[in-house]
Amino acid sequence: MRRLLFLLPIILFALLISFLGWRLILIARGDTPDLVPSVMINKPAPEFDLPSLLADKPGLSSKNLQGKVTVINFFASWCVPCRAEHPLLAALKNKGVVLAGIAYKNKRVEAVEWLSKMGDPYNRIALDAEGRTAIDFGVYGVPETYVVDKQGIIRFKQTGPLTPEIVADELLPLLKELNQ
């Protein structure tokens, strides 16, 4: 009986490892039920009007999204993954992408300081201090990036930081298609 009690934790641990290994295999095959798709895809961007974060750049409103394809990036100065994706945003701007930034639940001073250190890749930049606009977009956390088409319809959402692969394989082809 004691021997069985001794083996019980080992058996439970082996079962746990087996389950986790199986889940990794399923995830590699594309089975990710924990990833919730955005309900906003193919729907109009919510109505909003946010003040500018910087004195020398305009803020952002839903009216600014009409007539041009726009990439909207929700970020925060306190967000470590935002720092990692920031060079990719600068590269997008250099390719002529219309890029709007929304500082999410940030203090103005901290966001301005962060942009002065990291660089400002945005054509328009706004402050969503209370996070209301982010909630309306369905933001889970920062960073999140959206593509809004010329009619103001959300066509893409990236939860988490952009990566070179996501930019090359998903974002740039979509932007090319939407800009035709």
pLDDT at residue 27 in the model: 65
Domain boundaries of the chain, sorted by first residue:
1-35, 49-179
Q: Which helix (H) or strand (E) holds 19?
A: helix 2-28
pLDDT digits (tens, 9 = 90+) for 67-118: 999 999 999 999 999 999 999 999 999 999 999 999 999 999 999 999 999 9
Average pLDDT over residues 147-172: 95
Exposed, middle or buried by CB within 10 Å (0-12, 13-18, 19+), for 172? middle
CATH superfamily of 49-179: Glutaredoxin (3.40.30.10)
Three-state SS at 127:
strand
Query: Backbone phi, then psi, for 126, in 5-degree steps?
Result: -130, 165
pLDDT tens readout for residues 40-53: 899 999 999 999 99
Q: What is the pLDDT of residue 130?
A: 94
Listed as own residue / partner, the contacts of 151-156 with beta carbons closer than 8 Å and 24 or more positions apart are 151/44, 151/66, 152/44, 152/45, 152/62, 152/65, 152/66, 153/42, 153/43, 153/44, 153/45, 154/38, 154/40, 154/41, 154/42, 154/43, 154/44, 154/45, 155/41, 155/42, 156/41
Confidence bin at 10 (pLDDT 50/70/90): confident
pLDDT at 90: 96
Helices (H) and strands (E) in the chain, counts: 6, 7
pLDDT band of residue 23 (cuts 50, 70, 90) is confident
- The pLDDT score that the predictor gives to residue 32 is 56
User: What is the pTM assigned to this prediction?
Assistant: 0.80
What pLDDT is attached to residue 6? 76
Nearest to 178 by CA among 71, 73, 100: 71
pLDDT value for 59: 95
First to last CA, the chain: 73
Whether residue 144 has pLDDT greater than 80: yes
Q: What is the mean pLDDT of the chain?
A: 91
For the beta carbon of residue 87, count every other beta carbon within 10 angstroms: 14
